Amino acid sequence: MKLTKKNASSFTPHPEYTGPAVCVDVTPLKKITTKYGEREIFRIVFETTALRADGSPFLVWSSGFTPSLHEKASFRKFLRGWMGRDLSSSEQEEFDTDSLLGKTAQLVIVHADQDGSLFANIAACTPLRTGSIQPSGRYVRVKDRQDKDSQFNRAEQPGGGGSGSEENGGGTDWKTVKVHVGRHSGIELRDLEKSAVESLIERWLPEAKAKAKTTADDRRLMAALEAAQEEFDSIPY
C-alpha cells in the first residue's frame, strides 16, 4: 500500500497583498481547545480589492482573539495598530465590536506554510490614510448564516420546533450533503471535484436564493454550499 501526503486544505488563500481593506464581519465567539485548555475566540474578516477569477473580492480572516481589552491582550494590540491610537478610557470600559463593521484599514497580507498547507496571515493592520473601499455586499456574516440555518432546522421539524436532526441538515458536515440537481444529482459534495462545488456555488446558489419557494433539499444544499464557500474563502476556524 502506497501512502501519499495530501494537502490538508482545498481553499485558495488570499494572495500576498498590501492595500486597502474593509471589515465585513466580527464573528461570534467560538470555543476551541488549546494546549492551555478551552477558550473562546472570535475573528475579524476583511474584504480587499484583490479579486478572484469570477470578479468577487477575496476575504482574509484575522487570527483568533480572546474577548479581552487588557492592555497586553492581542485584540487590544491589533486595535491599537488599526486605529493608530490606544483605546480611550470609555472604550476600555465598554467596546462594541460591531462598531468595526465597515471600518477601513491598510493591510499587509503574507503567506505562511503550515503542515503543507498555505495560509494567508495579516502581518500588519494600520489606518487607511488615502483612498476608500466599500463592502461589496456579497459576504454574509457568520451569525446571519447560523441564524438562517437554525430557522431552516426549526421549520423542518414537526410542529416547527426542536433542534435540527441529521436528516434535515442540523449538525451535518457540508461535505456529506447530497446534490439533488443537475448532472451530479445523488452524489455527496465530498465526492465532487472542488471545481464542481464552486460551479454550484457560482451558478445554482444565486438562483436558489432568488426563488420564492424552496424545498427542504434546496435549503440543505444552500446551507452546505454556503459553508463550503466559507471554507474555500477563508482560514477554517
pLDDT, tens only, 157-208: 444 433 333 333 344 578 888 898 887 788 888 888 787 888 898 888 888 8
Q: Specify if 38 maps to a domain.
A: yes
Q: Specify if 8 maps to a domain.
A: no
Which CATH number is 74's domain given?
Answer: 2.40.50
Prediction pTM value: 0.63
Here the contacts of 201-206 (C-beta below 8 Å, separation 24 or greater) are: 201/225, 201/228, 201/229, 201/232, 202/54, 205/229
114 and 172 fall within a common domain: no
21 and 86 fall within a common domain: yes
191 and 151 fall within a common domain: yes
74 and 152 fall within a common domain: no
Q: Which of 207, 152, 213 is nearest to 177 (CA)?
A: 152
Q: For residue 61, give its domain range.
A: 17-126
Q: Specify if 221 maps to a domain.
A: yes
When divided into structural domains, the chain yields a total of 2
Among the candidates 67, 93, 126, a domain finishes at 126
Q: Specify if 133 maps to a domain.
A: no
Among the candidates 100, 126, 152, a domain finishes at 126
169 and 120 fall within a common domain: no
Q: Specify if 166 maps to a domain.
A: yes
109 and 163 fall within a common domain: no
**14: exposed, middle or buried (C-beta count within 10 Å: 0-12, 13-18, 19+)?**
buried
Q: Dig out the grid coordinates for 144 from the structure.
A: 446571519
114 and 176 fall within a common domain: no
**19: exposed, middle or buried (C-beta count within 10 Å: 0-12, 13-18, 19+)?**
middle
149 and 209 fall within a common domain: yes
pLDDT at 111: 93
Strands (E), 64-167: 104-114, 117-126
pLDDT at 162: 37
Q: Specify if 2 maps to a domain.
A: no
184 and 222 fall within a common domain: yes
pLDDT > 70: what percent of the chain?
A: 81
23 and 99 fall within a common domain: yes
Q: Specify if 44 maps to a domain.
A: yes
Q: Specify if 22 maps to a domain.
A: yes
199 and 161 fall within a common domain: yes
pLDDT digits (tens), the chain, 237 positions: 544 444 444 567 899 999 999 999 999 998 888 777 888 999 999 999 999 988 899 999 999 999 999 999 999 999 999 999 999 999 999 999 999 999 999 999 999 887 677 889 999 999 999 989 999 999 989 888 866 555 545 444 444 433 333 333 344 578 888 898 887 788 888 888 787 888 898 888 888 888 878 888 888 998 898 888 877 765 444
48 and 98 fall within a common domain: yes
